[in-house]
Structure formats: structure tokens, C-alpha cells
Structure 1
Amino acid sequence: MTAKSENRPRFHLAFPVTDLEAARRFYTDILGCKNGRESDRWIDFDFFGHQLVAHLVEPEDHPSVTTNAVDGHAVPASHFGVILEWDQYQQFVVNLEQKGVEFVIEPYLRFEGRQGEQATLFVRDPSNNYLEFKAFRDIEMLFDKDLESY
């Protein structure tokens, strides 16, 4: 999925993958990213207007994942993702379900009906990198310090 060009900072994230073609299929076919420059060792992806670069590593060199308990879920400590608009998130969930994507953490609401209400889900790419997609009912709560602790 591509974000419209806006005058705002973009993030760049390089991450390890163990199979470039499987990464290409996941990020383009499943998540809807466009790919940009590439070589036989890496691929650029337009990840909601941000630059992801999948770098090929040997399976034994891919980092392991530790989890933390959050709301009764084992949340991968190492993960990345984006915060979508509420309606965009809802459609994104439908698209993932239609494509048969297996959720690591099924879509659910945190702080339902309360300040800071947010929808969240986790998926895993073919190289076991974890991604979180979320949406806030009120985006102004994104950095609010008065929210209940995680």
C-alpha cells in the first residue's frame, strides 16, 4: 500500500529476510506494497509511503524473537508496522482475511470504549519478522501519557 506523497518525514527500515522471493510475494501480494530498487541481495518496498529494505541473510543469521506479555498476548518484542486510519484498518483486516493470512495475534480492540481505544493485529512474514498494524479511534491519543499502562 502506498501513501500519497506528503511533505513529512519518512522512515527507512532495513530488516533481514531468509528468502527474497517469498518476501517479495508477501510484501507485494499480501500487504500491497510496491517494490522499488533491488539487487540479488535486497529489495526496496514502499510500505505505506515509507522505505523498507529486505536484506537477504542466511537462516542461521536471522535473529530470534523474544516476547512480552501484553493484554494476555505474547507480543513479539521485535516488530514493526504502521498506524492506519480507523476505516483503512478495518478494510485492511478484511483484505488479510480474504487472502487467508494467518494472524499471530488476531485483530482485537484494546481499551474498548475507553480513552485510547485502539484496534491491533500481528502477522508474520515468511522470514518470521513480525508486523503490527493498528488504528486509534482518536489519533490524538497516540502519545497520550494518561492512558492505562500496557
Structure 2
Amino acid sequence: MTLPPFHLAFPVHDLEAARGFYGGLLGCPEGRSAAEWIDFDFFGHQIVAHHAEGMEPKHSNPVDGHDVPVPHFGAVLPMEEWRALAERLREAGTAFVIEPTVRFEGQPGEQATMFFLDPSGNALELKAMRDPGKLFAK
């Protein structure tokens, strides 16, 4: 199943830090930009970092024994790409909110997942499904 790309705009406190994080560490190609925003190709999806002062407080919800940060955004990657990115993030000294792990083991929604923050404190989740066809399975 191929899903259409999404578009997401989100606040950051420092565009150059966002450029280094998304473009450098995550390897997301940069698209259009202006003095107050930058487009990135986030694993085939368009995200836009907008300069904004003052970030909203973060919350969390319990999911499978972890405190999942809310709000968050992310992408579903092929398993090998997820593993390579997890290793690159570990090597870069990324402080994970939730370390790379497998959750819902043995269930239809079994997935590898990791949560971390960008330099502005935006929470990201990157995951890979054991069976990609079961992304929305109950």
C-alpha cells in the first residue's frame, strides 16, 4: 500500500539549527526556503519549519509501557532504512525520548519505533512495520 505524501508545518526557534538537524543529521533534502521558513523532503513528505518564538508545552500518553510525547510527527520507513537511521542517530549521540525498540511484539501492529526531539523540542517518531501491510491493522 502506497500512501500519498502529506504536508506538515511546524514551529522552530532556530532555522539554522533546523537546517542542520533535518538536512544534516536526518539527511532530508532542502526544498524552497525564505527568511522565515524552510521546506524539507521528509522521507517523501513535505515538512515546513517555520520560525516562531515560544513553543507549546509538551504532554505524553501511555502507549505499550512508554510515555509517548504529544504532539509528535514522523514517518514510517522500510525496516533496513529505519535500522540504519537508528544507528546514525546513536552514533551522533542523540538523546532519545524512547530508545529504538520493538513494540506490540507478536501483534498485528508490531513495529520498530524511536522517539527523539529536534533542536526546538518538536517530538518525532520514526517507525518501521514488521509487516508494512498491517500499518492500520487492529
Please tell me the TM-score bracket, short chain as reference: over 0.9
Is the counterpart of residue 20 in structure 1 residue 28 in structure 2?
no
Q: 2:113 aligns with which of 110, 120, 138?
A: 120
1:80-129 CA distances to partner (integer Å, 9 max, x unpaired)?
00001111111111111122211111011112244332110001001000
Q: CA deviation at 1:8?
A: 6.1
Between the aligned partners of 1:85 and 1:50, the Cα distance in structure 2 is: 15
Letter in 2 for 1:64: P
Which residue type is aligned with residue 79 of structure 2? Answer: W
Letter in 2 for 1:52: I
Q: Which has the larger radius of gyration?
A: 1
Q: Which residue of 1 aligns with 2:47?
A: 52
Q: What is the CA distance between 1:143 and its match in structure 2? A: 0.8
Q: 2:136 aligns with which of 132, 143, 147?
A: 143
Cα distance between partner residues in 2 of 1:48 and 1:85: 10
Q: Where do 5+ consecutive residues of structure 2 fail to align?
A: none
Aligned pairs (5 A) from 1:60-75? 60=54, 62-75=55-68
Gap change, CA 1:9 and 1:111, over 3 Å in 2: closer
Q: Considering fraction of residues, name the structure with more strand.
A: 2
Q: How many residues align structurally?
A: 137
For residues 107 and 36 of structure 2, the distance between their equivalents in structure 1, rounded to whole angstroms, comes to: 46
Letter in 2 for 1:55: H
TM-score, length-scaled by structure 2: 0.93
The answer for the alignment partner of 1:110 in structure 2 is: 103
Letter in 1 for 2:48: V
Identity, in percent, stands at: 55
